[in-house]
Structure 1
Amino acid sequence: MRAPAGLGSRTVDRWVFDGHIAGTGTQEGTRIVVGRWLASPVGPFADVMVERADGTRLLLAPRDDVAELVAATYDFDAVHVVPVVLAADEVRRRWRLRAGPLTADLTIGPRTAVGHLLTLVPRSRAAAPLVASAVDPVARLLLDGVRTRGTAGRGRREWYTATDQHAVTAVRALWGSEDLGALAPVDPPVRFGFSSVPSAPTVTRVLTTIEIAASPSLPGH
């Protein structure tokens, strides 16, 4: 998962995260971005980036090493290490999320029009940065706020390669005992990094590649 690559005379590491990103808004104004990572440099995990209605940006991470890795790449006002449990029911097309104060049940709908196009994208880890760079101008035109390449935190370069997408058709979300209301667009766009998720609530299959200079140890290593 962690492979050094040459960049001129500079040595870099590329970290690859393979999984899904779900982005949804709520009527109350809280926007939720769930990462379901099937493979990563620190193993499988789920994490949640939350932007509350007042603009406060929170990371809910399941372990210290995950919190350190994600917070080193994205921007948050607070980071909380809490139990994060994500159960994906592939038959009933539902995600059941429990993450600290957040409870969210997502209903997954049909493949989107963009998703049909994305199934044509090559799913190669080696080619992912090239594919993301090629797709970026199209993503900027078609998906408001979405970028597939850019500079992440601390000057790290980042690429997103999406290969499928399905609509989120319903959400039931609570923050503590507060009902966050019905499904809504991700509007305004979230502000964790250089890119937002699509404004229409979706689950997107992605390869995320983060490139960092030198060779720092992974958290916990």
Structure 2
Amino acid sequence: MGRSRFHGEIFGIGTDSGVRIVIGHWTNSPLGEFTDVMVQFTDGHRLLLAPNENVREFVTATYTFDEVYLTPVEFSQRGNSVELAADDLRVSVTTGQPTALGRLLHLVPNAVSTAPWFCRISDPIARVVLRGVRTRGSAGNGRREYYGARHQHRITAAEASWRGEDLGHLTPVTPPVTFGFGSTPAAPSVTSITTTVDSR
């Protein structure tokens, strides 16, 4: 069995239009530094925006999509402002103070909060408290996946457009996204995370 670990941040936002967007910005991973975007439209259609073939291959072997675009994904962050451009998607995000969960996670050593054994323990709690959030589960092709959160901040504002059409104001991520076994939190947030993937 092989083990891959991805260190980075996951941004989850909903919009008035019903489109939900999940941005993964990975600063340290077996695939190098990269950003990918998962979009679920109002009709349930699931789209992956991947920056290269290696990312596309790994992500689609782990999650489920109806369509995949290979496209440059431009991500920039200055202070609490994030800008993203990928194909016809444009997203601007403003982050705020730590969430209550983020303040709690700050007290837990990273070596503990990101360990698969801790993700097994925290999974039943996450299911109840965060509704739709999972910290471990079965991924595609027999893989096991563990989400070890290190910190979390609120997203206080967001603007997004698809093919030039404004997607509306920031809303909770509801209904939950269905790319994999779990969703991002319903409350818009950015979570610092280590994702561990065990492959056969």
Match of 2:140 in 1: 153
- Corresponding residue for 2:155? 168
For the aligned residue pairs, the C-alpha RMSD in angstroms reads 1.2
Q: 1:125 to 1:210 in 2, by over 3 A?
A: farther
The CA distance in 1 between the partners of 2:136 and 2:106, in whole Å, is: 19
Going from structure 1 to structure 2, the CA distance change for 1:80 and 1:23 (only over 3 Å counts) comes to same
1:81-96 correspondence to structure 2 within 5 Å = 81-89=70-78, 91=79, 93-96=80-83
Query: Contact 1:156/1:212 (CA < 8 Å) preserved in 2?
Result: yes
Matched, 1:78 2:67: yes
Mark the runs of 5 or more structure 2 residues left unpaired by the alignment. none
1 CA distance for matches of 2:179 and 2:107?
28
1:52-201 maps to which residues of 2 (within 5 A)?
Answer: 52-89=41-78, 91=79, 93-124=80-111, 128-201=115-188
CA contact (8 A) 1:87 1:97 kept: yes
Normalising by structure 1, report the TM-score: 0.88
SS for the counterpart of 2:111 is: coil
- On the 8 A contact 1:120/1:163 being kept in 2, the answer is no
Q: Alpha-carbon deviation of 1:176?
A: 1.1
Number of residues paired by the alignment? Answer: 200
Write 1 or 2 for the structure with the bigger share of helix.
Answer: 2
Segments of 5+ residues of structure 1 without an aligned counterpart are: 1-11, 214-221
**Structure 1: distance between partners of 2:11 and 2:114:** 23
Matched residues, percent identical?
50
Deviations 1:149-188 (A, max 9, x none): 0000112000000010000011110001110000001000
CA contact (8 A) 1:125 1:207 kept: no
Tell me, in whole angstroms, the C-alpha distance in 1 between the residues paired with 2:62 and 2:142: 9
